[in-house]
Structure 1
Amino acid sequence: MANYYVTTPIYYVNDEPHLGHIYTTIAADVLARYKRLCGDDVFFLTGVDEHGQKVQQAAEKRGIEPIELANQVVARYESLWPELSITNDDFIRTSSERHKKGVQAMWRRLENAGTIYKDYYEDWYCVPCETYWTETQLKDADCWDSKHCPDCKREVEKIQEESYFFRLSAFQDRLVEHIKQNPDFIMPASRRNEVLSFVESGLRDLSVSRTTFSWGVPVPGDEKHVIYVWIDALTNYISALGFPDNEAPSHWPADVHLIGKDILRFHAVYWPAMLMAAELPLPKRVYAHGWWTVEGEKMSKSKGNALSPAELLADYDADVLRYFLLREVPFGHDGDFSFAALKQRYNTELANDVGNLLNRSLAMLNKYSDGVLGEAGEETESDRALIADIEAMQRDVSDAMDRQAFHLALERISVVVRHGNRYVEENAPWALAKEGNEVRLNSVLYHLVETLRLVALQLLPFMPGKMAQMLVQINGGEVAVDTISYAKQGGWGVLRAGHKCAKPSPIFPRME
């Protein structure tokens, strides 16, 4: 049994959960579910980033303490994830004692490695992005005159204070070498090239402490300094595994950090440099996905198009949202959330294709043999082609999932579903029944039900609720979904003659 570790970013508590948050978390959940079905020992982590100046400022505006603000938002996340069928193994909070212990241990490692020193910082800082900028960088980005952040376009502020620094510049050559020698370390390729260009252009040492606010983890031995929020936040990936009490956590290094492209630099430059300094293994992959617009427009509260998860779940089944978000856009690209596109995907691929194949196959099985499967019979060329397509699908989906190409996995499954519907037309079970060709009729119906079962297993990570319903109909009764594995149930021919299926009940009624 192999270990598999997948993470989301930890989400800021000064922001309400929105479409971007659920997109990353659904993707991580689908990966976790898929790898569990493959028999891996999976650890799936998500959580919240509670520290930093912007959280302290947001709490002050509301007249409450930062921890109160954090508790309110944490409650929203913890209630939202079950509604979206998220199966995280842990939920890390940066205000927790276990995490603070990990952050201070990481600081000491960096200090003991000679990569931390004290100096004086005077430059520009973006509070919303928690990013430092030099005057040169602002000028290069044509942001100097307006003094706004090149990333988020909001105003930057001049910082003048004593600070500890991390010798990021010392790791430039090692980072370039690692990125070049490990082409899958940063994905997609466009993001890898972006990071490589950034690193090769030259790295400055990083200011890693602040003295102008107190909401964070104190620097060990110098508590007037608060550890820079990104050192704090990034350490969550190992503090959740028991670091430092567990010096070599069993699931580290992470197989994949799933993040938004806006925080790529922190994960693909700062984090690996920190790990190199601390002499800890680097994550195997950092995958940066794109951003969503809504009906062609950038999401914003002022436009009222921010698409809160609660509003989406009031109108659409969680499984439908999970399917659409990972089917509509190649992971790593920007995408547009369109209600017309969601409806079209649903009606075409789920209602017309999957739903139709399920309903017509089980309806004919119940009509012609009281729901009982007969013998598979001698295979025809049509049967062999269908089985070969299914087995190729399983290999192709495995490859796509290993590359986080969710849309390709779903398209490959759709190819088999369409093949199954063609198989019905080509073999015409109604004509076989009329002719009294019971042997061939039994064989065709058997092949259809086995196809449906194996399609449901491949779709199970994406739509756990709907596929559980589908498997219940195929199984003829309750299914212990948690006990399913591809090793045990993933091969052709698991169902035997004499197995009784239930009558069909639509799981994808058309969306009007």
Structure 2
Amino acid sequence: MPGQKTPYYITTPIYYVNDVPHIGHAYTTLACDVLARFMRLDGRDVKFLTGTDEHGQKVEKSAQAAGVDPQAFTDRVSQNFRNLSGTLNFSNDDFIRTTEERHKKACQALWKKLLENGEIYLGGYSGWYAVRDEAFYTESELTKQPDGKRIATASGAEVEWVEEPSYFFRLSAWQDRLLAFYEANPDFIAPETRRNEVISFVKGGLKDLSISRTTFSWGVPVPDDAEHIMYVWLDALTNYMTAAGYPDLESESYKTYWPADLHMVGKDILRFHAVYWPAFLMAADLPTPKRVFAHGWWTNEGQKISKSLGNVIDPLQLVETYGLDPVRYFLLREVPFGNDGDFSRRAIVGRMNGDLTNDLGNLSQRVLSMIAKNCDNAVPAPGAFTPEDEALLSQSEALPDRLRQEYGVQAFNKALEATWDVIGAANRYVDDQAPWTLRKTDPERMKTVLYVLAETVRRLAILTQPVMPDAMAKMLDQLSIAPDARGFENLATPLAAGSPVPKPEGIFPRFVEEEAGTA
């Protein structure tokens, strides 16, 4: 319909509630938040989902260890993830818990459809199972330890031998159809290295998947067979459709948002999202998501992060030490998204004092200070633009399309590099034009230069809002840009001469290491 916004549905994985939030959770959700904010500013109808995965043997055991029933345990731990969203300024539209009735209803509807389509059968399972991973493993995927125990080679999780009745999903029948699907949809899995891994895995052969358990009870009951509960991954993956309104296929929400535009996941859970999930959906005659992106992991000062090393990175402590927007910026700027990255104190301080304080902060501060001081605290009226003026304005005008391109493929670091290219050009323009000298020699030219710079700062601040919403709000406040004039549709409406520009305050203070606590 004319004027209707194009939908954009983005999801994080739902986070397992047997632990407290860490840097990995923050990183995934931050990436989704930035995309959601970008798409909203660009006029899209965004649905941004996150939540918690609350069923399974691992949760049941964690609750027992804590001496509470599983529901009370998940109520408490799920709240930690809600709190993380508030602290890191995430803009999710929905927060789903797999213990909600709407979700149980969706899971059971999907089960019934798969059963009706002949994709599920009852059998018996015997094999190796890792409680920590909630995953089944073949002998070839295990490493035998000196004490005789076996661990999953990829994750290091201990496995146990399980024998029990089980319903199975006919995954083996979907091998060729999945490979054909990947070929027909080359952008379904990203980045390319992960896509190649998945295709290699599927070509290696798929076995039917055990999708129910009887040895514990914390999960969604299998319809018409109360002795079985659903395998946690069939349950968990369905959350994306639950939040979109499934199983009501005629609901406005489902018709608007499903299939999802992007599932953002860590590389450790790619197989579930890129193999099992599309197979479940196609087997149930349902549309598949458009894209699954698997990002990398963080290390800490070069070391693998683990509880035993005591080097787990607490995102709340990071924010307390370095500030919210600098942390958001660093996590997406430092590493090509999709690669593994290393968190180091030196690197984040370097980004803060270099990129933020020296480059962007100093640009805004000195431009707005000169306007406040020399132009009666108001945006000056420009004269005719020189080729140098046009060059800088053109560079900032071209930035939105470049950002759409980079964010469209989740290249956050490239989007920020492109932004900082314009910031660098603006700083060079200040030095070349020397408005402090023009003030004495050519005041009218000085006004034009300051106008060009103020307009460039306005565009930069609008376009950088998704990554640093609070800091850019302050920058736009200092330009007296109304809150309803900060969307991308406003980029083409230049600053009005005479708009008030009060004396600015610094937005990115220099970080002094000696005064910092440990992160």
Range into which the TM-score falls when normalised by the shorter chain:
over 0.9
Residue number in structure 1 paired with 2:458: 453
- 1:148 paired with 2:146, answer no
Work out which of the residue numbers 167, 192, 196 in structure 2 matches 1:164: 167
CA distance in 2, matches of 1:505, 1:217: 54
CA distance in 2, matches of 1:284, 1:475: 40
Moved more, 360-369 or 241-250: 241-250
Q: What is the one-letter code of the residue matched to 1:184?
A: D
Residue number in structure 1 paired with 2:187: 184
User: Once the 2 structures are TM-superposed, how far is the Cα of residue 143 of structure 1 from its aligned partner?
Assistant: 11
Provide Cα deviations, 1:5-25, integer angstroms capped at 9, x if missing partner: 000000000011000000000
1:237-252 correspondence runs (5 A) = 237-247=240-250, 248-252=254-258
Provide Cα deviations, 1:90-146, integer angstroms capped at 9, x if missing partner: 00000000000000001001101100000111111011111111224437x999964
What do you get for the CA RMSD once the two structures are aligned? 1.5
Q: What is the one-letter code of the residue matched to 2:369?
A: A
1:315-330 correspondence runs (5 A) = 315-330=321-336
CA distance in 2, matches of 1:332, 1:176: 22
Residue number in structure 2 paired with 1:202: 205
- 1:257 paired with 2:263, answer yes
Q: What is the one-letter code of the residue matched to 2:13?
A: P
User: Once the 2 structures are TM-superposed, how far is the Cα of residue 430 of structure 1 from its aligned partner?
Assistant: 1.1
- Structure 1 residue matching 2:153: 3-state secondary structure: coil
- 1:287 paired with 2:293, answer yes
Q: Which ranges of structure 1 fall in alignment gaps of 5 or more residues?
A: none
Residue number in structure 1 paired with 2:505: 505
Q: Contact between 2:9 and 2:258, CA under 8 Å: does it hold in 1?
A: yes
Work out which of the residue numbers 394, 409, 433 in structure 1 matches 2:415: 409
Aligned pair in 2 of structure 1 residues 62, 104: CA closer, same or farther (>3 Å)? same
Moved more, 320-329 or 364-373: 364-373
- Structure 2 residue matching 1:9: 3-state secondary structure: coil
Q: Contact between 1:135 and 1:144, CA under 8 Å: does it hold in 2?
A: no
Q: What is the one-letter code of the residue matched to 1:240?
A: A
CA distance in 2, matches of 1:146, 1:225: 28
Provide Cα deviations, 1:13-54, integer angstroms capped at 9, x if missing partner: 001100000000010000000000010000000000000001
Q: What is the one-letter code of the residue matched to 1:211?
A: T
User: Once the 2 structures are TM-superposed, how far is the Cα of residue 265 of structure 1 from its aligned partner?
Assistant: 0.2
Q: Contact between 1:45 and 1:92, CA under 8 Å: does it hold in 2?
A: yes
CA distance in 2, matches of 1:484, 1:381: 28
Q: What is the one-letter code of the residue matched to 2:333?
A: R
User: Once the 2 structures are TM-superposed, how far is the Cα of residue 249 of structure 1 from its aligned partner?
Assistant: 3.5
Q: What is the one-letter code of the residue matched to 2:89?
A: S
Work out which of the residue numbers 327, 334, 339 in structure 2 matches 1:333: 339
Percent of pairs with identical residues: 52
CA distance in 1, matches of 2:384, 2:180: 57
Provide Cα deviations, 1:336-355, integer angstroms capped at 9, x if missing partner: 01011000011111000001
Provide Cα deviations, 1:197-250, integer angstroms capped at 9, x if missing partner: 001111000000000000000000001000000000000000111111245431
1:241-390 correspondence runs (5 A) = 241-247=244-250, 248-390=254-396
Q: Contact between 1:143 and 1:150, CA under 8 Å: does it hold in 2?
A: no
Q: Contact between 1:143 and 1:149, CA under 8 Å: does it hold in 2?
A: no
Residue number in structure 1 paired with 2:517: none
Q: Which ranges of structure 2 fall in alignment gaps of 5 or more residues?
A: 513-519
User: Once the 2 structures are TM-superposed, how far is the Cα of residue 471 of structure 1 from its aligned partner?
Assistant: 0.5
Q: Compute the TM-score of the two structures, normalised by the length of structure 1.
A: 0.96
Q: Compute the TM-score of the two structures, normalised by the length of structure 2.
A: 0.95
- Structure 1 residue matching 2:123: 3-state secondary structure: strand
- 1:78 paired with 2:70, answer no
CA distance in 2, matches of 1:295, 1:79: 27
CA distance in 2, matches of 1:361, 1:14: 50
Provide Cα deviations, 1:372-395, integer angstroms capped at 9, x if missing partner: 122222110111110121122221
Provide Cα deviations, 1:249-289, integer angstroms capped at 9, x if missing partner: 31011111000000000000000000001111110000000
Alignment size in residue pairs? 505
CA distance in 2, matches of 1:34, 1:68: 37
CA distance in 2, matches of 1:367, 1:105: 67
